[in-house]
């Protein structure tokens, strides 16, 4: 099996790969103990059936540089094919400031091509490549060396079968004229902002039941400290403190380390040292904020009046449209978006681009009372009014 451990060998492989129309790519990484994913293995293949067309690249090998791979990722003549690409792309964006382009995500393409809501890699390999994937090595420690034969076989299969999957999906998209639909989704994955986590915005991911401005100020300052600390020390944010502990701290407003010691949910390590100091400083900042600098709940969203009957009709319409177009429902619109449409919002992902063509146009007509829904046998039909 071809395992690349030197920059020279990697450069030679990438030069050959660059002569082909596409490469398939996958990674193995660890993230349980770090904030940022640690790349442990990189798999790349180009079209072909000989042994040299697919390789494993060891990024942990002494002295190796991934610069040749980054150059390949920047090559506009070569399509970079991934499955469920987001986490893989985040690694390259964070480590080297590189996002592969042009990009093709087979998971997204499969949902466009009628493979349902859960277009898993194993399912696609079984249905398209007529092969089985041995999943026994999926959760092994990819940082340990040497790699076992089972690990290497598993890793290589992730890119060799992907060639067959990609060629099938690309041909189907070309036949149905939906390649631009996938391209729209790839624009999101190619945006560096997709992988950027701003500590100032971290508080908006914390679920709370209280909407007072002071409480939200505490949540914001605590979440900002936690995110900054996790990024700086490269530890998971849950290792600093978890969301339930953050909400508890925002409620109890500790002023001293003795107060932290009374917490039910705070980890023992967070009750002293630099984490404790950061927590207390965050609480003080929030308590000292003047009223005009405190975050405000989204009153406009809170005041949106969802018409539940209309929301239910939109769900029926979405199901009918998804079945008619053979596209996964969740790729077209989320449940929250349907509620927002029923409440009068119009600046939504589900109403733009190819989604407007498939669903959004009729969704707006339904909201305006210009179409109705009826049943004809087992089918939902649209009645123009």
Report the pLDDT value the prediction gives residue 1, as an integer from 0 to 100.
60
CATH number at 338 reads 1.10.150
Give SS3 for 245: helix
Based on the fold, state whether residues 13 and 136 are members of the same structural domain: yes
**Domains held by the chain: number:** 3
Tokens of 8: 């020279």
Report the pLDDT value the prediction gives residue 220, as an integer from 0 to 100.
97
Rounded distance between C-alpha atoms, residue 347 and residue 269, angstroms: 44
Q: How much of the chain exceeds pLDDT 70, in percent?
A: 98
Burial per residue of 105-121, b for 16 or more beta-carbon CB atoms within 10 angstroms, e otherwise: bbbbbbbbbebbeebeb
Based on the fold, state whether residues 355 and 376 are members of the same structural domain: yes
pLDDT at 375 over 70: yes
Based on the fold, state whether residues 27 and 143 are members of the same structural domain: yes
Please compute the mean of the pLDDT values over residues 149-172 and round it to a whole number. 96
Based on the fold, state whether residues 161 and 280 are members of the same structural domain: no
Rounded distance between C-alpha atoms, residue 73 and residue 300, angstroms: 43
Tokens of 233: 């020390």
DSSP state of 52: G
Based on the fold, state whether residues 203 and 278 are members of the same structural domain: yes
Report the pLDDT value the prediction gives residue 378, as an integer from 0 to 100.
86
Which residue, among 191, 193, 272, 278, has the nearest Cα to 233 in the 3D structure? Answer: 278
Contact 115, 53 (CB under 8 A): no
Based on the fold, state whether residues 26 and 42 are members of the same structural domain: yes
Q: What is the per-residue DSSP string for 66-128?
A: -HHHHHHHH-TTSEEEESS-HHHHHHHHHHHS---SSEEEHHHHHHHTT--S---HHHHIIII
pLDDT in tens, 118-128: 779 999 999 99
Of 162, 195, 228, the last residue of a domain is 195
Rounded distance between C-alpha atoms, residue 287 and residue 249, angstroms: 12
DSSP state of 40: E
CATH number at 224 reads 1.10.150.80
> By residue range, what is the domain housing residue 331?
302-384
Q: What is the pTM of this model?
A: 0.90
pLDDT at 252 over 80: yes
Question: Under 8 Å CB-to-CB from 307, ≥6 apart: which residues?
Answer: 342, 343
Based on the fold, state whether residues 234 and 321 are members of the same structural domain: no
Based on the fold, state whether residues 49 and 71 are members of the same structural domain: yes
Of 142, 177, 195, the last residue of a domain is 195
Based on the fold, state whether residues 169 and 210 are members of the same structural domain: no
Q: How much of the chain exceeds pLDDT 90, in percent?
A: 89
Contact 22, 80 (CB under 8 A): yes
pLDDT in tens, 270-315: 999 999 999 999 999 999 999 999 998 765 555 568 889 999 999 9
CATH number at 74 reads 3.30.420.10
Where is 22: in which H helix or E strand?
Answer: strand 22-30
pLDDT in tens, 203-241: 999 999 888 999 999 999 999 999 999 999 999 999 999
pLDDT-derived band at 134, boundaries 50, 70, 90: confident
β strands within 106-184, DSSP E: none
Of 179, 195, 211, the last residue of a domain is 195
Phi and psi torsions of 226, nearest 5°: -60, -45
Based on the fold, state whether residues 278 and 203 are members of the same structural domain: yes
Based on the fold, state whether residues 291 and 168 are members of the same structural domain: no
pLDDT-derived band at 200, boundaries 50, 70, 90: very high
Based on the fold, state whether residues 225 and 152 are members of the same structural domain: no
Report the pLDDT value the prediction gives residue 298, as an integer from 0 to 100.
61
pLDDT in tens, 46-82: 999 888 999 999 999 999 999 999 999 999 999 999 9
């Amino acid at each position: 099996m071809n395992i690349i451990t030197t920059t020279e060998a990697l450069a030679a492989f990438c030069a050959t790969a660059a002569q082909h129309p596409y490469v398939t790519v996958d990674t193995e990484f660890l993230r349980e103990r770090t904030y940022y994913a640690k790349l442990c293995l990189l798999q790349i293949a180009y079209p072909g059936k000989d042994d040299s067309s697919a390789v494993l690249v060891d990024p942990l090998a002494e002295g190796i540089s991934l610069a040749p791979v980054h150059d390949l990722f920047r090559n506009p003549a070569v399509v970079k094919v991934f499955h469920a690409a987001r986490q893989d792309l985040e690694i390259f964006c964070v480590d080297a400031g590189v996002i592969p382009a042009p990009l093709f995500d087979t998971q997204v393409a499969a949902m466009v091509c009628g493979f349902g809501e859960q277009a898993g890699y194993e399912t696609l390999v079984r249905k398209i490549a007529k092969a089985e994937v041995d999943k026994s090595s999926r959760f092994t420690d990819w940082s340990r060396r040497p790699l076992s034969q089972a690990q290497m076989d598993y890793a290589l299969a992730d890119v060799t079968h992907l060639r067959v999957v990609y060629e099938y999906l690309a041909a189907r998209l070309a036949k149905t004229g939906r390649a631009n639909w996938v391209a729209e989704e790839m624009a999101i994955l190619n945006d560096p902002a997709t992988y950027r986590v701003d500590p100032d915005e971290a508080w908006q991911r914390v679920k709370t039941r209280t909407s007072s401005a002071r409480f939200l100020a505490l949540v914001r300052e605590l979440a900002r400290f936690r995110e900054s600390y996790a990024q700086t020390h490269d530890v998971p944010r849950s290792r600093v403190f978890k969301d339930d502990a953050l909400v508890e701290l925002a409620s109890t407003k500790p002023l001293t380390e003795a107060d932290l010691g009374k917490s039910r949910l705070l980890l023992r390590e967070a009750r002293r040292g630099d984490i404790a100091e950061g927590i207390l400083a965050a609480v003080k900042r929030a308590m000292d904020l003047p009223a005009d600098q405190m975050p405000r709940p989204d009153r406009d969203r809170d005041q949106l009046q969802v018409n539940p009957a209309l929301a239910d009709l939109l769900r029926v319409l979405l199901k009918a449209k998804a079945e008619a177009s053979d596209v996964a429902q969740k790729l077209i619109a989320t449940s929250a978006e349907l509620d927002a449409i029923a409440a009068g919002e119009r600046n939504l992902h589900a109403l733009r681009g190819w989604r407007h063509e498939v669903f959004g146009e009729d969704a707006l007509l339904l909201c305006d009372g210009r179409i109705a829904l009826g049943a004809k046998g087992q089918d939902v039909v649209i009645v123009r009014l």
